[in-house]
A and B are shown apart, each in its own frame.
Chain A
Amino acid sequence: GAGVSQTPSNKVTEKGKYVELRCDPISGHTALYWYRQSLGQGPEFLIYFQGTGAADDSGLPNDRFFAVRPEGSVSTLKIQRTERGDSAVYLCASSLNGGGGTDTQYFGPGTRLTVL
């Protein structure tokens, strides 16, 4: 079956604009994760959904960042008033069950966000 998909693959925006990044998880996966990867760094956790609810949003850097998963499948990461420091690759992953740490997370190809 299809893997995790993310759209768009690239997004260029201007400072101060609003952006939405979309993630389609593997069908049937109940857990969904967002990470951010800056150049030369490892991925950094942002938020984790179990079903429709955010089980852990401790990685969101500030209130400009928000994510939703209204039907327990597709998720959207929303960034308001973008700043140049938000430029990074945003990765989405899904896993079958989530909850515990044993589940394998399957990653999408990422969305490269560039804020000019």
Chain B
Amino acid sequence: AQSVTQLDSQVPVFEEAPVELRCNYSSSVSVYLFWYVQYPNQGLQLLLKYLSGSTLVKGINGFEAEFNKSQTSFHLRKPSVHISDTAEYFCAVTLSNTGKLIFGQGTTLQVKP
């Protein structure tokens, strides 16, 4: 069975500082990887996804993530955060033969002025 672990439940960071949100997954088969963001009182929105090819994936709002197969990780990074990045971030995986997303527990990113 597949599973996703987000190692940090909360990440406080000052505005304009860099941030990394960690995600590790477990699967015996190849997976596709996603990061979603949930702003307060809004629905989940796709930030980026890794399907194949280059292991460095760029997404919206200046975020990027790197797929590391040997470490089964897909960490999310941003070089300089803004107050508006304050939100809940979810890492997720799915298999090639199903659309079922398996989510991690989420990481709350709190950007302080």
Contact = CB atoms under 8 A, between A and B. Distances in A.
Interface residues of A, number: 32
Nearest to A4: B43
A98 B106 CA distance: 24
B32 A45 contact: no
Interface stretch (B14-22, B67-75, B79-87, B95-103): B95-103
A45 B100 contact: yes
Contact of A107 (B43, B97, B98): B43
A1 interface: no
A100 B106 contact: no
Interface of A: 3-4, 31, 33, 35, 40-45, 48, 55-56, 58-59, 91, 93, 95, 98-110
Contacts of A31: 99
Contacts of B92: 42
B43 A109 contact: yes
Given A101-B32, A101-B94, A101-B95, A43 B43 contact: no
12 contacts: A4-B43, A31-B99, A35-B103, A42-B103, A45-B100, A99-B99, A101-B31, A101-B95, A101-B96, A102-B49, A104-B49, A110-B43
A91 B101 contact: no
Interface residues of B, number: 28
Interface in B43-101: 43-46, 49, 51, 90, 92, 94-101
B99 A101 contact: yes
Contacts of A105: 46, 99, 101
B6 to A, nearest CB: 8
Given A43-B90, A100-B96, A107 B44 contact: yes
Given A42-B105, A43-B90, A43-B103, A100 B97 contact: yes
Contacts of A101: 31-32, 94-99
Contact of A48 (B32, B36, B99, B105): B99
Given A56-B98, A100-B97, A101-B96, A41 B44 contact: no
Instruction: Pick the most buried of B32, B96, B98: most chain A CB atoms within 10 A of its CB.
Output: B98
